[in-house]
Amino acid sequence: MSANIGNEMYGWMRDLFPLNRSITGHGTRQTLAYIKELLPEMQIHEVPSGTQAFDWTVPDEWNVKEAWIRHESGKVIADFKENNLHLMGYSEPFEGQLDLEELQEHLYSLPDQSSAIPYITSYYKRRWGFCITEQERKILKHGKYDVLVNSTLAPGHLTYGELLLPGKSHDEILLSTYVCHPSMANNELSGPVVTAALLRWLKQLDHHFTYRAVFIPETIGSLVYLSKHLDHLKKHIKAGFVITCVGDDNNYSLLKSRYGNTLADRAAEHLLRHKHSDFKTYSFLKRGSDERQYCSSGIDLPVCSLMRTKYGEYPEYHTSLDNLQFVSPKGLRGAYEAMHDVLTILEGNHTYRSSVLGEPQLGKRGLYPTLSTKESGKYSRTMLNTIAFADGQTSLLEIADHIGECCLDLIPIAEQLCKCGLFDKVNEERLVPCQ
Amino acid sequence: MSANIGNEMYGWMRDLFPLNRSITGHGTRQTLAYIKELLPEMQIHEVPSGTQAFDWTVPDEWNVKEAWIRHESGKVIADFKENNLHLMGYSEPFEGQLDLEELQEHLYSLPDQSSAIPYITSYYKRRWGFCITEQERKILKHGKYDVLVNSTLAPGHLTYGELLLPGKSHDEILLSTYVCHPSMANNELSGPVVTAALLRWLKQLDHHFTYRAVFIPETIGSLVYLSKHLDHLKKHIKAGFVITCVGDDNNYSLLKSRYGNTLADRAAEHLLRHKHSDFKTYSFLKRGSDERQYCSSGIDLPVCSLMRTKYGEYPEYHTSLDNLQFVSPKGLRGAYEAMHDVLTILEGNHTYRSSVLGEPQLGKRGLYPTLSTKESGKYSRTMLNTIAFADGQTSLLEIADHIGECCLDLIPIAEQLCKCGLFDKVNEERLVPCQ
Amino acid sequence: MSANIGNEMYGWMRDLFPLNRSITGHGTRQTLAYIKELLPEMQIHEVPSGTQAFDWTVPDEWNVKEAWIRHESGKVIADFKENNLHLMGYSEPFEGQLDLEELQEHLYSLPDQSSAIPYITSYYKRRWGFCITEQERKILKHGKYDVLVNSTLAPGHLTYGELLLPGKSHDEILLSTYVCHPSMANNELSGPVVTAALLRWLKQLDHHFTYRAVFIPETIGSLVYLSKHLDHLKKHIKAGFVITCVGDDNNYSLLKSRYGNTLADRAAEHLLRHKHSDFKTYSFLKRGSDERQYCSSGIDLPVCSLMRTKYGEYPEYHTSLDNLQFVSPKGLRGAYEAMHDVLTILEGNHTYRSSVLGEPQLGKRGLYPTLSTKESGKYSRTMLNTIAFADGQTSLLEIADHIGECCLDLIPIAEQLCKCGLFDKVNEERLVPCQ
């Protein structure tokens, strides 16, 4: 992989940072247009307001031209132009003059994080509001305030991107990330940029699985996508990952699927255990992103989420402090490599059967020392163990778990044994010679 | 529940304490007559001596008019009138004069508990004997002793009570308690009085299960009852409890069924873990009451025993020290409430299925905040978790175990979701709308 | 068992120690001839060189007349006559004069164990070599060395012994031990002598299982045997043991089968847990003897290995220090007794069903006290627990594990219950009265 991949992802993120993304609207469209330049095969879909998705309805589209609060002294308190977090997401249009007491009811700040602008939305109930730092709020002067929210909330569309990379198999791996938060870095842009980088790698790979990637607004976007494709997804998705919070430098986290035992969980946990052993595991009870939908009962997709620091577990989360300083090229690159490894495991996780009964004579193939000494039993242990458990029913990942080795180390061994004719690959219930 | 329930049960116990209960006889009949006043629906059954019950036979009926030992000096050593424990249970008639050495062979005392009269019986081998304190035994004088055991051992009946409270379902819950020990409190009367109080509560409840309660002599009584009703019980009993040792103030104990995994075990252990966490668990290897029969192989009823201090685990057990001072209204009330909670869990332990795919939009039903802030994910967690696992196959108790919440807290949530139309109840393999 | 059995086995071992065993050749033939005197029923088989056994081929037969290295000064450096370990196993013929530098390439020694002659072989690649102590190697003088390896490597036979002791059942227990190492005691001769002693005991026993014992060269011998009898073995072998390293005085070790859960594993682990609780368990990943073949996938025999100190886990292993001092009559006897106990468990591990519903009335059969006291519940616990779990589906060994008792204690109880008519034996799916 390119040594520069971290800087490249960080550059995309810097470009995308200022856009005013939401669950609908032009900011999300501009974000998807940028990603489409990186991945021209991506399709962009528009779903009209009012469309039903299970228990939910696509809301009106929201766009903002201008929004500010100005004290009668002329001082501007909060300006959308300066930081789009100042305006509560989905604020309805408003123009008027309020005194401080009236204004307070529309202001949001964080008493415990006095320098942070909070991120607040009200998608399904019409309101308007502004978010400011607690520091600014404390020094607000009495008097009259002019308020302008020049927004539109009107029938329009929800927009999302979808990319399919057909593989040798109809079995699919789902990569899902979201494009609905305004200027935040870890809990927003890290997801799309790492996903885009992974897809650019996959495009050049001769891959087994078909990859399905979606760049969607959280919750309503995954519900819309599921409601359109449920039968297909239930049939084909063998593993999936919600990619979010993958930009900081801290240890890895794994948010597991509902019962925590899908192929996606097992591959991700295996990689982390062997390569990044101080990771944290969170059960499904700690979920918070689109696995809420993918893993809900009746949908039951095998989806988990491999993150660096999990949303909700770092104080900068959902504030203006989740910015370009909170993430780094190194952090992005680490997460990219971890997901790269997980997908490599899934790609190599075939089921093999030893083609000979008893142990094969590795010595005559140059795979074992011909001289038997006190020590010779220690050589080729991993190869012999891989062979011992290759019964045509146990996948390479299961064997790796059983013998306590990293599956990434077993994949080249299995391929070598295939080349020697000692392994047959079991493919969809049929036994296939490897060559 | 009545605040006074503890005192009420204690009062019944005080009334019943003096009666000379055994596995047959008038003391047991009088006990059942008293309980029938509390529960007029109870049926009293009489089973003739000689009746076969699997490997056992109902023995002759035993009744006592008078029994004492008197030293030639005129001093009475042990008198049945004073404490019915003085006479070994099922003592055969005897009248005669013995010197001290001969008498010693018929005396029982406890060297390690010198102030306690032991409780001894010999149901299936004819003997006579007296039980005295070790203190008294040590000062017995030489000389002649007149002994009278004015008892009858003759064909008669074994007597037991049975109460059926039909519910909406033919599925049954069994409550089994025993009425065969003379004047002892925890390991005898606590069981019948707590069971009676539970049944008086159940009578007023609109309950799902049919409740079957038996007040029986231990071992031979349960064998008789099982041999008469085995097919019905095997078909209908979904959970059962042996109710004994439920009167002292100490921590709760759970004696588990043979493999420890029946619905009864799971409900009782769940309640204790969530509400009385310093309980003790005993495996079936520590059994000692009628679960010996209910859980024997070939019978296999799902029966466990929720106690306060388990029989055999307190020194007063099977002695005159297991008296009205050893138990308390508070102790009885605690056990009543624990069993009340266990039955409440079983009554509410339905299987539900979410009626929508994906997460329901709780906000539009007033069940979730409409304003999304850093904190909003924390609200409604228990409700969302209950929904997430409601797949139409997992019972509420299983969901509670999985999400680490007390099932008593999930029952009202499930009922609220039913009312909203978000949950359907799965009833005997059919899906039933809740309303 | 004979009090002298340890000395007897040690004597056999002393007789066999000097022979030059290998995977083929006269030393192995002489060893088998000696064992046949102990067990005249044993059959000796000869398999020609070139015979295919799965992925392997029986090699040429190797025999040695003479082999030595002599310095020009006349000093003999290594002489096969003195210790057959001096000659590398399967050394090809050689005669010539070399200077020290050339000779070094054919010498093997152990820098970390300077007084030990290592054991080295090269079965499948033609070489010659000598093994000496590091001490001797360090003081080798410059100059010319005469070398003679008067060996033959020519088409011949692989030789092994096979003994079948037919039992009441066609189900078989396999005992496998090897006869292919020259003068080494624990990791060679302890196996055949303990196996021979066990078979002499079994011959006198009225046993249930058919016993199949093989005395084979390691690896190639088990592969040959498996390739000839695979279908029969897969059908009939219910448990098997590789018997090796059973002569030292240290704690027991258990090398488990591939998944560690066969009947052989369970019986051996049960015995060790109850009688020799400071044993070590090794997973199949630590395998090193013929379980490598027996448990390979597609062969899947239920075979484990109960040892004292495992091969590879003691420094004397595969050196001249694994000699008659490293083992002892007491060590051999302990291993014999442990295997004797394991086979006793397997012989007694029947499945029983209680012939009465509910608990049987043990009192009327003299199996329970007729007087009920505070203590009487403690008597007959093991018998009552054995009855409670005897459901016609759970074997005695499974019951023993469940109730935490040693199966050796349950066997006589089950036999007593059979005699009383309280147990029926379940035999190959049919219920058989015991008498």
**Can you point out the beta strands (E) in A256-410?**
280-282, 303-307, 351-354, 391-395
Say what the pLDDT of residue C428 is: 59
Average pLDDT for chain C: 95
Say what the pLDDT of residue C366 is: 86
The predicted-structure confidence for A372-404, as pLDDT tens digits, reads as follows: 777 666 558 999 999 999 999 999 999 999 999
The predicted-structure confidence for B280-315, as pLDDT tens digits, reads as follows: 999 999 999 999 999 999 999 999 999 999 999 999
CA distance A323 to chain B (A): 16
Partner residue facing C356 (CB), from B55, B124, B125? B55
Phi first, then psi: give them for residue A65, nearest 5 degrees: -100, -40
Which residue of chain C has the CA closest to A374? C318
The yes-or-no verdict on residue A433 having pLDDT over 70 is no
Say what the pLDDT of residue B375 is: 66
Contacts of A318 (CB under 8 A, 6+ apart): A118, A119, A184, A187, A311, B373, B374
pTM of the model: 0.93
Name every chain A residue with its beta carbon within 8 A of the beta carbon of B381. 285
CB contact under 8 A, B296 and C364: no
When pLDDT is cut at 50, 70 and 90, the band that residue A39 belongs to is very high
CB contact under 8 A, A358 and C56: yes
The predicted-structure confidence for A95-128, as pLDDT tens digits, reads as follows: 999 999 999 999 999 999 999 999 999 999 999 9
The predicted-structure confidence for B261-270, as pLDDT tens digits, reads as follows: 999 999 999 9
Which residue of chain A has the CA closest to B353? A297
Name every chain C residue with its beta carbon within 8 A of the beta carbon of A391. 297-298
| Single-letter amino acid, residue C342 | V
Q: What is the mean pLDDT of residues B148-152?
A: 98
Q: What is the mean pLDDT of residues C207-231?
A: 98
The predicted-structure confidence for C24-58, as pLDDT tens digits, reads as follows: 999 999 999 999 999 999 999 999 999 999 999 99
Handedness of CA C70, C72, C74, C75 (dihedral sign): negative
A354-368, B173-187, B192-206, C256-270, range with the lowest pLDDT? A354-368
The yes-or-no verdict on residue A36 having pLDDT over 70 is yes
The predicted-structure confidence for B46-93, as pLDDT tens digits, reads as follows: 999 999 999 999 999 999 999 999 999 999 999 999 999 999 999 999
Is A375 at the interface with chain C, CB within 8 A? no
CA distance A223 to chain B (A): 7
In the DSSP assignment, the letter for residue A373 is -
Which residue of chain C has the CA closest to A360? C55
The yes-or-no verdict on residue A435 having pLDDT over 50 is no
DSSP letters, C124-160, are SS-B--EE--HHHHHTPPSSEEEEEEEEEEES-EEEE
CB contact under 8 A, B371 and A110: no
Which residue of chain B has the CA closest to C376? B120
What SS3 class is residue C356? Answer: coil
- Mutate which of B294, B296, B303 to disrupt the C interface (most C C-beta within 10 Å)? B296
Structure tokens at B178: 């025993």
| Single-letter amino acid, residue B8 | E
CB contact under 8 A, A373 and C108: yes
The yes-or-no verdict on residue C430 having pLDDT over 90 is no
Cβ-based burial of C352 (10 A; exposed 0-12, middle 13-18, buried ≥19): buried
CA distance C427 to chain A (A): 32
Pairing of strands C253-255, C303-307: antiparallel
Nearest one of C267, C218, C236 to C174, comparing CA atoms = C236
CA dist C350 and C169 (Å) reads 12
Q: Tell me which residue has tokens 């007593």.
A: C416
The yes-or-no verdict on residue B139 having pLDDT over 60 is yes
CB contact under 8 A, C357 and B298: yes
CB contact under 8 A, A54 and B357: yes
Is C372 at the interface with chain B, CB within 8 A? yes
Which residue of chain B has the CA closest to C364? B124
Name every chain B residue with its beta carbon within 8 A of the beta carbon of A297. 353-354, 388-392
CA dist C218 and A380 (Å) reads 19
Partner residue facing C124 (CB), from A354, A363, A388? A363
Name every chain B residue with its beta carbon within 8 A of the beta carbon of A89. 372
H-run or E-run covering B94: strand B94-99
Nearest one of A84, A60, A62 to A152, comparing CA atoms = A62
Name every chain B residue with its beta carbon within 8 A of the beta carbon of A284. 388
Name every chain B residue with its beta carbon within 8 A of the beta carbon of C395. none
Decide: A191 and A244 in contact? Cβ < 8 Å.
Answer: yes
When pLDDT is cut at 50, 70 and 90, the band that residue C317 belongs to is very high
CA distance A56 to chain C (A): 49
CB contact under 8 A, C374 and B219: no
Partner residue facing C370 (CB), from B124, B285, B298? B124
What SS3 class is residue C390? Answer: coil
Say what the pLDDT of residue C108 is: 97
CB contact under 8 A, C226 and A357: yes
In the DSSP assignment, the letter for residue C205 is S
CB contact under 8 A, C388 and B124: no
Name every chain A residue with its beta carbon within 8 A of the beta carbon of B359. 55, 219, 292-293, 296
Say what the pLDDT of residue A377 is: 60
The yes-or-no verdict on residue A228 having pLDDT over 70 is yes
CB contact under 8 A, A298 and B357: yes
CB contact under 8 A, B389 and A54: no
Average pLDDT for chain B: 95
Q: What is the mean pLDDT of residues A260-279?
A: 97
What SS3 class is residue C346? Answer: helix
The predicted-structure confidence for B339-359, as pLDDT tens digits, reads as follows: 999 999 999 999 999 999 999
When pLDDT is cut at 50, 70 and 90, the band that residue B1 belongs to is low
Q: Which residue has the higher pLDDT, C2 or B72?
A: B72
CB contact under 8 A, B357 and A258: no
CB contact under 8 A, B55 and C354: no
Say what the pLDDT of residue C229 is: 98
Decide: C126 and C160 in contact? Cβ < 8 Å.
Answer: no
Name every chain C residue with its beta carbon within 8 A of the beta carbon of B125. 363, 370-371
The yes-or-no verdict on residue A1 having pLDDT over 70 is no
Say what the pLDDT of residue C435 is: 43
CA distances from B284 to A171, B59, C390, C417 (A): 48, 28, 14, 21
Is A359 at the interface with chain C, CB within 8 A? yes
- The percentage of chain A sitting over the pLDDT mark of 90, rounded to a whole number, equals 93
Instruction: List the 113-132 stretch of B: residues with Cβ below 8 A of C.
Output: 118-125, 127
Which residue of chain A has the CA closest to C58? A361
CA distance C218 to chain A (A): 13
CA distance C126 to chain A (A): 9
The yes-or-no verdict on residue A49 having pLDDT over 80 is yes
Structure tokens at B138: 């040590």
Say what the pLDDT of residue B176 is: 98
CB contact under 8 A, A285 and B356: no
Say what the pLDDT of residue C180 is: 98
Average pLDDT for chain A: 95
The yes-or-no verdict on residue C434 having pLDDT over 70 is no
User: Which other chains touch chain B, taking contact as 3+ CB pairs less than 8 Å apart?
Assistant: A, C
When pLDDT is cut at 50, 70 and 90, the band that residue A275 belongs to is very high
Which residue of chain B has the CA closest to A55? B360
The yes-or-no verdict on residue A292 having pLDDT over 50 is yes
Say what the pLDDT of residue C278 is: 95
Q: What is the mean pLDDT of residues B231-241?
A: 98
Q: What is the mean pLDDT of residues A44-50?
A: 98
Say what the pLDDT of residue B371 is: 79
Q: Tell me which residue has tokens 């000869």.
A: C46
Say what the pLDDT of residue B370 is: 77
What count of other Cβ atoms lies within 10 Å of the Cβ of residue B365?
14
Name every chain C residue with its beta carbon within 8 A of the beta carbon of B296. 354, 357-359, 387-388
Is C223 at the interface with chain A, CB within 8 A? yes
Nearest one of C20, C98, C13 to C64, comparing CA atoms = C20
H-run or E-run covering B320: none
Alpha helices in A258-389 (DSSP H): 263-275, 291-294, 329-348, 381-389
Say what the pLDDT of residue B435 is: 44
Decide: B95 and B148 in contact? Cβ < 8 Å.
Answer: yes
Q: What is the mean pLDDT of residues C333-351?
A: 98
Is C186 at the interface with chain A, CB within 8 A? no
User: The complex's ipTM?
Assistant: 0.92
CB contact under 8 A, B388 and A295: yes
Q: What is the mean pLDDT of residues C103-131?
A: 97
Is B56 at the interface with chain C, CB within 8 A? yes
Partner residue facing A357 (CB), from C127, C292, C298? C298
Q: What is the mean pLDDT of residues B163-179?
A: 97
Which residue of chain C has the CA closest to B221? C358
The yes-or-no verdict on residue C185 having pLDDT over 80 is yes
Name every chain A residue with its beta carbon within 8 A of the beta carbon of C317. 374
A232-236, B105-109, C107-111, C429-433, range with the lowest pLDDT? C429-433
CA dist A80 and A64 (Å) reads 9
Q: What is the mean pLDDT of residues A137-152?
A: 97
CA dist A226 and A338 (Å) reads 27
Is C100 at the interface with chain B, CB within 8 A? no
The yes-or-no verdict on residue B373 having pLDDT over 90 is no
Instruction: List the 269-308 stretch of B: residues with Cβ below 8 A of C.
Output: 284-285, 288, 292-293, 295-299
Q: What is the mean pLDDT of residues C217-241?
A: 98
